[in-house]
A and B are shown apart, each in its own frame.
Chain A
Amino acid sequence: MEARATRVSLGVWTLLVVLFLWLPLVLICVYAFNSSNIQSWPIAGFSTKWFHAAWHNEEARSALVLSLKAGAIATVIALVLGTAAATAVSRFRFFGRDAVTFLLVLPIALPGVVTGIALNSFFNNNPVHGLSPSLWTIVIGHATFCIVVVYNNVVARLRRTQTSLTEASMDLGADGWQTFRFVTFPVISTALVAGALLAFALSFDEVIVTTFTAGAQNTLPIWILGNLRLGQQLPQVNVVVFFVIVMTVLPVTVAQRLTRDTGILRRR
């Protein structure tokens, strides 16, 4: 369709953009294997000694544990609430349906710093119960912006699913729970897994809102940020950053494979 010259130059541009997107990520992974503690390019030599050091770093370890806990709990909450909202929105028509979607999207559409101080001032100035920073304040923040991730995945799947499937189930005498258990759930199960993986990846990496809800606690990203600011323990930070990239890239790759369209459920 397009002239040959146009296609070639578009192709070259695409290649350049891919390099632009990926070279920094590749580079940061290379730095994890830097034998020197001076962060210059090219790296002085190849070594895995910092992996050992980072693994035995108590601070980094407890930060990792906190991040895993917060991510796991926030994901479970997001999974339950996101699925409930998605089912309600796609199965029933009701007044204010669009408002619900808007409300769920709001935490990621508004600048993160606004969500952060809103939660911070809410926890501090709540007349009913002043919540002091704990695992739970972190979880509340994360779950709030993770709900939309699960919601989006499930809504997209339900939208592609023929409503005749559930109607058929109901016609054959299944009650609401049976229909969910034997028809809806199998249809959305991969979307749920994908949503959960994405929610976990989002939580595991979040830093802007977390700084406002964590108090003196360190999640892994906050530990990284603190060290970057002060220029401390950089070789170990490189290793942890490498680990975080792997921890976020893996679930996203799996999620991407799971949400590919699955034959019979397609509408078109």
Chain B
Amino acid sequence: MLGPPLAWMLIFYLAALAVLFVSAFWSIDAFTGKLTHAWTLTNFDTILHSSTYHQIAFRTIWMAVAVTLTDALIAFPFAYYMARVAPPRMRTILFVLVLLPLWSSYLARIYAWRLILNQDGALNWSLAKVGLPEQSWAFTNTAMWIVFSYIWLPFMILPVYAALERIPDSFIEASRDLGGRNWTTFRRVIVPLALPGLAAGSIFTFSLTLGDYITPTLVGNVDFIGNVIYRNVLGLTNNLPFAAAYATVPLIVMAVYLTLAKRLGAFEAL
């Protein structure tokens, strides 16, 4: 029963990843533009010693961190309300209200923000209505930060909600009985128990930001790791080996991140 799905994943996924990994050690002949199947470390050498590629990598990782923190801050009070304050019926409604944007068109949601942040878009119109100066965030890092935080927010809310919902009321009562004030209970009981949920959500917000090249293309003005990879595979540069080598950067970062998240109990909370 396990044969067919396993075979599919091995042939089309693991084999593909293996080919990718191997091709990172190939190179492109500078004159003919043809793929050379000889082993070389040139690609990794370029990545390690080029300040441009360092900058792009750090920019991407930095954005992934910023987006993850922002989403955690927005999601926690929301998930808390959902799990511990809202009546059951309201909870179901909120659940659907979070789930639908998560599944609804990813491109549509990025495009919506492009329209909102435009000079003559809805945000400046609203700012003018309340007498605030207009913004010019379109095609900046701020725009990318807003849009990334927006599109990945549901991925953070759901696991945090699940973690908070699982905390038995008796734990909180016990803390109160033992003299813990609200703040103490929150800090010493609720937050530690919600941590696996936060870690689980952060895997998504972090990984999805790390591998995205559409958002920077549509609402930003600088390159992310994904843009470099995209251009080297499908763009004019046409250097698959280099793209493969650069793709190891997000892979290594994710491997480290997943190890840390596992320690925080994220895998049980997924």
Contact = CB atoms under 8 A, between A and B. Distances in A.
Contact of A84 (B2, B78, B109, B120): B2
Contacts of A18: 94, 97
Contacts of B121: 40-41
Question: Secondary structure at chain B's binding surface: helix, strand, loop or mixed?
Answer: helix
A248 B99 CA distance: 11
A41 B98 CA distance: 26
B85 A147 contact: no
Interface residues of B, number: 80
A1 to B, nearest CB: 7
A103 B14 contact: yes
B62 interface: no
B6 interface: yes
B115 interface: yes
B251 A25 contact: no
Contact of B212 (A27, A100, A143, A208): A208
B118 A198 contact: no
Interface string B50-85: 000000000000000000000000100110111011
Interface in A104-151: 104, 106-107, 109-122, 124-126, 140, 143-144, 147, 151
A39 to B, nearest CB: 6
A27 B9 contact: no
B180 interface: no
Contacts of B211: 110-114, 208
A249 interface: yes
A111 B12 contact: no
Interface residues of A, number: 81
A252 B84 CA distance: 25
A24 B1 contact: no
A114 B2 contact: no
Given A14-B94, A106-B13, A144-B13, A111 B81 contact: no
Interface of B: 1-2, 4-6, 8-9, 12-17, 19-20, 23, 35, 74, 77-78, 80-82, 84-86, 94, 96-101, 103-109, 111-116, 118, 120-122, 125, 150, 153-154, 172, 182, 203, 207-208, 210-214, 217-218, 225-226, 229-230, 233-234, 240, 243-244, 247, 250-251, 254, 258
14 contacts: A14-B78, A14-B81, A17-B74, A25-B104, A25-B108, A25-B112, A40-B120, A84-B4, A88-B2, A103-B13, A113-B212, A144-B9, A205-B104, A207-B106
